Amino acid sequence: MKPLSLKLEKPSYEQIDVVKTESIEEKVKLLIIRDLMRLGWSVTNNGNKIEITPPGTYDKKIIRESMSIKREEILSQNREWIDKHMHYAIQNLANGFDILESKIIPEIEVCRSQKQHDLFRIFRYFWSSPYSEYVGRRIKLIIRDAALTDKPVIGIAALGSPIIHIPERDEYIGWDAPTRTQRLNYMMDAYVIGALPPYNYLLGGKLVSYLLASNEVRSIYEEKYRQTKFNKLAGIFTTSLYGKSSQYNRIRYKNRLLYQPIGQTKGYGTFHLSNETFNAMNDLLNENHIIVSNKFGSGPSWSMRVIRTASELLGFDADDLLQHSFKREIYFVPFASNTSAFLRGEHRKLRYYHQSVTALTNYWKKRWLLSRKKNINIVETVKWFNRESFESWLR
């Protein structure tokens, strides 16, 4: 990656904590420098320009710290709403001692009511990755444990419209641009997959991952989109947070790998930039009477288009900023034996695998849960989990 070069009115590469300037252009540049310095980019003064050079590689700690900053921004912005709904979230969690006795019978609940969407939203704040909403088709799911009387939440998952162009994915499927345009919407991206405490200690994240490959999830999709052209779901794609994923790794059903690693992303994205920086970029565009459409179907990610437009206005190549090099593993979950051929337009009908929630859950229990329950340290951690402590995770 080449350095990012920014021209400043008063070049300085001191640590920037608070940005104070009357110029919106200067403010955006200083905020960019601050965000990149937080990631360990080296900064040098070159005349009236500052050059910022990325490190050769990032470790997981740096990536976590980057996401933590953005997550804390989001939690702070939504603090009032979170506090208002915290009691409802706690009511829907299990205490650790209870789940050690549970047979764990997953029940998939589709978010339809406002209460369900609120519950999904507050639980989504739990993860280290920043909360972001999805544009386009969406299906949000809450996974409950029907084996317990109050049916506490095991985890949540969400499917959304797939990203239009991912070179590694397109090459794996064998797509050219016209075929991808015609067939892409037979797929969905899984943009949320995870378990909540205390089920996460028992590899509940792997259980939620298994359930997304079930007949029942496919039926949920088909029911929702039955009156559209793309009323069949051929499979899903998802990506890891940090390189190879421990959650998706080795998820097999019988003799078949469910989550197939097909390559890594190039490392383009926006989550290394703070919300403060993004909002300043948007203010810069508004000040220059430039409107970037935020409607579904307007093209690639709105945030990416805002950053590209602002970068062009500031006179530097947006790719130098957007290529953060946090590479993610891409996973492909085909729902049929001929998914790839179907997506290339070579087959007209999908030959679906038949894997029910019950069958997948039983497989997860034998493969993952039993050994987890034999780990004394894990059992102690689960046993002493009190659902009232959940509030501390969102502080």
Confidence of residue 58 (pLDDT cuts 50, 70, 90): confident
DSSP state of 30: H
315 and 335 fall within a common domain: no
Confidence of residue 14 (pLDDT cuts 50, 70, 90): low
Q: Mention every residue, 6+ apart, whose C-beta is less than 8 A from residue 104.
A: 145, 147, 154, 199, 207, 361, 365, 369
pLDDT tens-digit map of 66-92: 778 888 888 999 999 999 999 999 999
Last residue within a domain, chosen from 307, 322, 337: 322
Q: How many separate domains does the chain show? A: 2
166 and 254 fall within a common domain: yes
Residue with tokens 């034998």: 366
Please calculate the CA angle 131-67-320 and round it to the nearest 5 degrees. Answer: 110
Three-class secondary structure of residue 139 per DSSP: strand
Residue in 88, 98, 14, 5 with CA at minimum distance from that of residue 49 = 5
Rounded to whole angstroms, the Cα distance separating 309 from 286 reads: 11
* For helices 24-38 and 275-287, angle between their N-to-C axes, nearest 10 degrees: 160
Angstrom CA distances, 248 to 13, 203, 251, stand at: 41, 11, 6
Q: What is residue 8's predicted lDDT score, i.e. its pLDDT?
A: 58
Residue in 226, 239, 291, 245 with CA at minimum distance from that of residue 269 = 239
CB 99 within 8 A of CB 198: yes
138 and 192 fall within a common domain: yes
140 and 201 fall within a common domain: yes
Number of neighbouring beta carbons within 10 Å of residue 210: 24
Q: Is the pLDDT of residue 15 over 50?
A: no
Structure token pair of residue 220: 């949920």
DSSP state of 48: T
Structure token pair of residue 264: 């890594």
280 and 364 fall within a common domain: no
Confidence of residue 287 (pLDDT cuts 50, 70, 90): very high
DSSP state of 323: B
Residue in 34, 38, 9 with CA at minimum distance from that of residue 24 = 9
Residue with tokens 């849960």: 369
Rounded to whole angstroms, the Cα distance separating 128 from 113 reads: 26
* 352 vs 242 pLDDT, higher one: 352
Confidence of residue 177 (pLDDT cuts 50, 70, 90): very high
344 and 272 fall within a common domain: no
Q: Any long-range contacts for 220-226 (C-beta under 8 Å, 24+ apart)?
A: 220/108, 220/110, 220/139, 220/141, 221/139, 221/159, 221/188, 224/139, 225/137
261 and 382 fall within a common domain: yes
99 and 206 fall within a common domain: yes
Average pLDDT, the chain: 88
166 and 250 fall within a common domain: yes
H or E segment to which residue 152 belongs: none
Domain extent, residue 43, equals 4-56+268-322
pLDDT tens-digit map of 178-223: 999 999 999 999 999 999 999 999 999 999 999 999 999 999 999 9
* 348 vs 272 pLDDT, higher one: 348
245 and 278 fall within a common domain: no
155 and 224 fall within a common domain: yes
pLDDT tens-digit map of 294-346: 765 444 578 888 999 999 998 888 888 887 657 788 999 999 999 999 999 99
284 and 160 fall within a common domain: no
